[in-house]
């Protein structure tokens, strides 16, 4: 009798505890005010295990966060996950990552390709993907559909290789008899070959100087723009409407980059960085003549002795022939050892 009374008391205590927890859950659920409760995978797993032990009938009485069917569905998913091959899952994740990279790459490199064209290209490399999947991947990466997808500046430049040149100015502080004077140097760079031509340096980049620049650029025999149809420059006031008109009459169209967009003329900007970092920032120019000699030495080094990453780490004038791989290594110095080139003696 005592044992039966004890069991009955424990059962009542358990029911009262469950009733309290159920009521507490209802109160907390009401505090959410209709907002959806988001559970982690670990929380779903624990509820699924407990819910399966309780059973559907009892869950209908005590479950307040989710429905009994949801808890039992989580339990079935837990069982299915147990018997899923983990090695195959890892391989599949790797394949999906590769597909995402390919979809984004194809869309960026081919702005006119739609979902069906990308799907066909993926099929050529062994991936079968639906159009809706491709659309979701591109949307997740912020890539618009074909009619709204612009052509990248880099793609435009490479499509016109050999016909486009870039021009820009860089400044240098020069010590003269009048003190510290700012000199403006204008240059032109061929985007395909990376060859640079210094057009001139002056402390007064006025209209007279720019007229001389235009004549030098458009000279029939040795002009830097011979064979070029497009010249890219920034919106500096020195590239005035009169200067642009003279270049247009000579057969060269001037395209000015957007405001605050140095990457639109990236090759010219990269040359400015190179000559500043490797040369001019390490020299104190003592007069205009010294400045021009320094720039000339660097340009020769730039063409003949400096490897360029954009040209597969080659020289602009071509790699020298290696006559004897066992020959003594010699050093060619410019500007007192500021610029160096190493080669093997013949």
Q: Does 167 share its domain with 306? A: yes
**At which residue do the structure tokens 């020298």 appear?**
320
In a shared domain, residues 124 and 164: no
Q: Is residue 108 in some structural domain?
A: yes
The residues near 211 (Cβ < 8 Å, ≥ 6 apart) are 246
Res 76: pLDDT: 77
164-185 mean pLDDT: 94
**Helix, strand, or coil (residue 131):** helix
Q: Which residue has the higher pLDDT, 109 or 187?
A: 187
Both 67 and 130 in one domain: the answer is no
Over residues 297-309, mean pLDDT: 93
Within this chain, do residues 141 and 45 fall inside the same structural domain, yes or no? no
pLDDT band at 91 (very low <50, low <70, confident <90, very high): very low
Structure token pair of residue 221: 């025999």
Residue 200: per-residue pLDDT: 95
Residue 63: per-residue pLDDT: 65
Provide the pLDDT confidence category of residue 209 given band limits of 50, 70 and 90: very high
Mean pLDDT along residues 273-294: 95
Question: Binning pLDDT at 50, 70 and 90, where does residue 309 land?
Answer: confident
Tell me, yes or no, whether 237 lies in a domain: yes
Q: Are residues 213 and 166 in the same domain?
A: yes
What angle is formed at CA 125 by the lines to CA 120 and CA 127, rounded to 5 degrees?
70
What is the band of 232 on the pLDDT scale with cuts at 50, 70, 90?
very high
Global pTM value: 0.60
Take residue 181 and report the two structure tokens written for it.
């004077």
Residues 268 and 203 in one domain: yes
Mean pLDDT of 290-306: 95
**pLDDT digit string, tens, across residues 19-57:** 766 766 777 667 666 666 676 777 777 766 766 666 666
Residue 344 lies in a domain: no
Q: What is the pLDDT of residue 97?
A: 87
| Whether residue 299 is found in the same domain as residue 165 | yes
CB 174 within 8 A of CB 291: yes
Q: Which domain holds residue 297?
A: 159-311
Alpha helices in 110-187 (DSSP H): 115-124, 131-140, 153-159
Instruction: Give all strands (DSSP E) within the chain, no chain letters.
Output: 164-176, 179-190, 196-202, 230-233, 253-256, 329-334, 339-344
299 belongs to a structural domain: yes
Same domain assignment for residues 174 and 294: yes
* pLDDT at site 60: 66
Judging by beta carbons within 10 Å of its beta carbon (0-12, 13-18, 19+), is residue 77 exposed, middle or buried?
A: middle
Given a cut of 60, is residue 326 above it in pLDDT? yes
* 66 and 169 share one domain: no
More confident residue, 235 or 4: 235
pLDDT over 60 at 149, yes or no: yes
Q: Is the same domain home to 110 and 175? A: no
Are 294 and 279 contacting, i.e. CB atoms less than 8 angstroms apart? yes
User: What is the per-residue pLDDT for 234?
Assistant: 93
Q: How confident is the model at residue 184 (pLDDT cuts 50, 70, 90)?
A: very high
In a domain, 163, yes or no: yes
Average confidence score pLDDT of the chain: 83
Between 124 and 25, the more confident residue is 124
pLDDT score at 89: 47
Query: pLDDT band for position 66 (50/70/90)?
Result: low
| Within-domain flag for 271 | yes
- The domain total for the chain is 3
Are both 216 and 292 inside the same structural domain?
yes
Residues 114 and 177 occupy one common structural domain: no
- pLDDT at 160 (0 to 100): 73
Q: Is the pLDDT of residue 62 over 60?
A: yes
Q: Is residue 32 part of a domain?
A: no
Question: Which of 315 and 40 is assigned the larger pLDDT?
Answer: 315
% pLDDT > 90, the chain = 39
- Whether residue 66 is contained in a domain is answered as yes
Higher confidence at residue 53 or residue 90?
A: 53
pLDDT value of position 186: 97
């Amino acid at each position: 009798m005592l044992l039966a009374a004890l069991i009955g008391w424990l059962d009542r205590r358990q029911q009262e505890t469950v009733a309290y927890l159920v009521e507490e859950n209802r109160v907390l659920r009401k505090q959410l005010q209709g907002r959806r409760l988001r559970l982690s995978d670990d929380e779903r797993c624990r509820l699924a295990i407990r819910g399966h032990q309780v059973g559907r009938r009892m869950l209908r009485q005590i479950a307040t966060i989710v429905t009994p069917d949801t808890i039992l569905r989580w339990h079935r998913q837990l069982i299915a996950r147990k018997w899923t091959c983990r090695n195959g899952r890892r391989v599949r994740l790797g394949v999906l990552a590769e597909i995402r990279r390919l979809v984004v790459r194809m869309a960026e490199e081919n702005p006119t390709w739609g979902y069906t064209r990308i799907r066909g290209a993926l099929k050529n490399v062994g991936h079968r993907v639906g159009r809706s999947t491709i659309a979701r991947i591109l949307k997740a990466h912020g890539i618009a559909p074909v009619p709204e997808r612009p052509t990248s500046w880099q793609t435009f430049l490479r499509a016109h290789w050999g016909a486009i040149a870039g021009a820009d100015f860089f400044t240098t502080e020069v010590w003269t008899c009048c003190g510290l004077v700012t000199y403006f140097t204008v240059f032109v760079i061929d985007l395909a070959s990376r060859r640079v031509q210094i057009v001139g340096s002056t402390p007064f980049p006025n209209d007279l100087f720019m007229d001389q620049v235009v004549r030098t650029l458009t000279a029939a025999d040795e002009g830097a723009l011979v064979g070029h149809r497009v010249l890219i420059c920034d919106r500096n006031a020195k590239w005035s409407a009169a200067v642009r008109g003279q270049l247009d009459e000579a057969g060269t169209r001037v395209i000015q980059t957007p405001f605050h967009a140095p990457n639109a003329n990236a090759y010219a900007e990269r040359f400015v960085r190179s000559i500043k970092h490797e040369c001019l920032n390490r020299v104190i120019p003592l007069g205009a003549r010294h400045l021009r000699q320094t720039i000339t030495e660097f340009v020769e080094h730039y063409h003949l002795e400096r490897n360029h990453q954009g040209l597969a780490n080659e020289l602009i004038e071509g790699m020298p022939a290696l006559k004897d791989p066992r020959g003594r290594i010699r050093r060619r110095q410019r500007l007192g050892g500021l610029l160096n080139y190493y080669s093997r003696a013949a």
